């Protein structure tokens, strides 16, 4: 081969390689998504569960070629910082993510750190969209136009739990719930509603689920009041200890878990698939039952293959949040204008379950509109899940919402939350 033909051949090879790189998205611009949360210490597993969902969402978006905004291709990368649930550290991390890493969207999963982040995310010139993984209703009534709350408010669970407990004939409740702002708000909310429908709170013995492993004193005091059921919960691992210790102390009554604790994780990790200690337990539905079964089974198997352990609502809902965020950026025509991106969320919902897993149907103020899905373990089995539609006022509106949700085996209830419908 002559030198002339060799030179021509190399030009052709380089041209084809270049076309291949551009065609595969290798030359796409990069959008940095930020995360600050607990990645070490007692709440590390919770933080990692949130991150895993974001990682899986980003992986799927990038594999599909990323997004196209104004003719430009973009892919995503996740930058994470550990804040140990320390408000000062969270604020410093967010400023670093914005100024140094160029993140215009930052995820955080703890109300204690979200509140101070909401004090800085609207500062002129340093704005970022705060993606808040918290069910605490209080966040929705803080004046902030650049925050999105990802899960349903925990009142959607508390009200449904109380109705289920009442239907079971339970009347006396003892509470052994985690300490802190989240636990305090949960106990107050549940107790108020329980009393309104005629129930009685016979004991309130909060415990530190982050530092304690022996809950015998709180449980003994609670059980001495002879409750029909106990409201319990905090992180899943220590909630499992509370269940085990209560059963070992002879309590065979009902158990109702706050939404932080996940029944499928407790059943399959601490208890190794044995449901015998969890009979008559009410909690957030297992991930297999919060979306179309075939889609959730595929996600479940993939999560276990990639991460081990057990997938949780944190994985599923953060995955969905990332998919919605990418779609909103395309709809808004921008990757760096937080206000326009948030405004686009209402335009891209609902999404197909194959893309988004869970039936997100809109956004109202700060809060995403997604059913709270509850489940009961009874007779050694997970029962049919119950989805609570909490954001509409009338029966007609309720029926319209049901038409938008992918068909699956589920019981639908309408328990409106006053603050969200007025």
pLDDT value of position 205:
97
Fold matches, 29-152+293-369 and 155-285+371-421: yes
Domain ranges of the chain: 29-152+293-369, 155-285+371-421
- Are the CB atoms for 108 and 133 separated by under 8 Å? yes
The DSSP secondary structure of 214-243, one letter per residue, reads: --HHHHHHHHTT--SEEEEESSHHHHHHHH
The one-character DSSP state at 262 is: B
Fold of 29-152+293-369: Rossmann fold (3.40.50)
- Are the CB atoms for 167 and 149 separated by under 8 Å? no
Query: What are 66-83's pLDDT values in tens digits?
Result: 999 999 999 999 999 999
The DSSP secondary structure of 75-111, one letter per residue, reads: EEEEEEEE-TT-HHHHHHHHHHHHHTS--SEEEE--H
For residue 363, give the nearest of 69, 156, 122, 152 by alpha carbon.
Answer: 152
Query: Quick check: bond before 61 cis, omega within 30?
Result: no
Three-class secondary structure of residue 60 per DSSP:
helix
What are the tokens at 88?
């000062």
With residue 36 as reference, give the H or E element that holds it.
Answer: strand 29-37
Q: Report in angstroms the alpha-carbon separations of 271 from 36, 233, 240, 263, 383.
A: 31, 16, 8, 10, 18
Residues in the chain, how many?
422
What CATH class does 155-285+371-421 carry? alpha beta
pLDDT value of position 1:
46
Query: What are 305-338's pLDDT values in tens digits?
Result: 999 888 999 999 999 999 999 999 999 999 999 9
User: How confident is the chain (422 residues) per 10-residue block, as mean pLDDT?
Assistant: 43 40 60 96 88 97 96 97 95 98 96 95 96 94 96 95 96 95 92 96 94 93 98 92 97 96 92 95 94 91 92 94 98 98 96 89 96 95 94 95 85 92 82
pLDDT value of position 154:
94
pLDDT value of position 102:
97
With residue 419 as reference, give the H or E element that holds it.
Answer: helix 418-421
């Amino acid at each position: 081969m002559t030198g002339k033909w060799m030179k021509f051949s190399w030009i052709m090879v380089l041209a084809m390689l270049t076309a291949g790189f551009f065609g595969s998205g290798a030359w796409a611009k990069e959008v940095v998504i930020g995360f600050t949360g607990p990645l070490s210490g007692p709440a590390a597993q919770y933080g990692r569960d949130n991150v895993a969902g974001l990682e899986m969402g980003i992986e799927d978006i990038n594999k599909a070629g990323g997004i196209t905004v104004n003719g430009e291709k973009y892919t995503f990368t996740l930058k994470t910082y550990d804040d140990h649930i320390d408000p000062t550290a969270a604020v410093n991390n967010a400023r670093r993510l914005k100024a140094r890493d160029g993140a215009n969207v930052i995820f955080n999963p703890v109300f204690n750190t979200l509140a101070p982040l909401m004090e800085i995310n609207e500062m002129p010139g340093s704005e970022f969209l705060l993606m808040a993984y918290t069910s605490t209703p209080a966040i929705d009534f803080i004046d902030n136009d650049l925050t999105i709350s990802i899960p349903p408010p925990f009142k959607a669970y508390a009200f449904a739990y109380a109705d289920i407990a009442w239907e079971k004939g339970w009347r006396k409740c003892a509470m052994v719930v985690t300490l802190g702002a989240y636990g305090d708000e949960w106990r107050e909310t549940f107790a108020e509603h329980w009393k309104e429908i005629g129930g009685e709170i016979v004991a309130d013995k909060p415990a530190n689920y982050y530092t304690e492993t022996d809950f015998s004193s709180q449980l003994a005091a609670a059980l001495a009041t002879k409750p029909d059921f106990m409201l319990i919960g905090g992180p899943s691992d220590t909630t499992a200890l509370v269940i085990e210790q209560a059963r070992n102390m002879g309590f065979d009554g009902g158990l109702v878990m706050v939404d932080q604790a996940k029944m499928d994780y407790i059943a399959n990790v601490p208890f190794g698939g044995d449901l015998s200690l969890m009979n008559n337990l009410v909690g957030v539905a297992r991930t297999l039952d919060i979306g179309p079964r075939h889609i959730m089974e595929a996600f479940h198997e993939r999560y276990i293959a990639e991460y081990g352990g057990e997938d949780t609502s944190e994985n599923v809902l953060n995955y969905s949040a990332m998919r919605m965020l990418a779609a909103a950026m395309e709809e808004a025509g921008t990757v760096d204008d937080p206000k326009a991106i948030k405004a686009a969320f209402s335009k891209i919902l609902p999404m197909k379950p194959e893309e988004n897993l869970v039936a997100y149907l809109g956004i109202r103020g700060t809060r995403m509109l997604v059913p709270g899905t509850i489940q009961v373990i009874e007779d050694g089995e997970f029962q049919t899940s119950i989805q609570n539609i909490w954001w509409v006022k009338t029966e007609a509106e309720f029926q319209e919402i049901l038409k938008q949700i992918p068909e699956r085996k589920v019981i639908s209830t309408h328990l409106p939350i006053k603050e969200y419908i007025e």
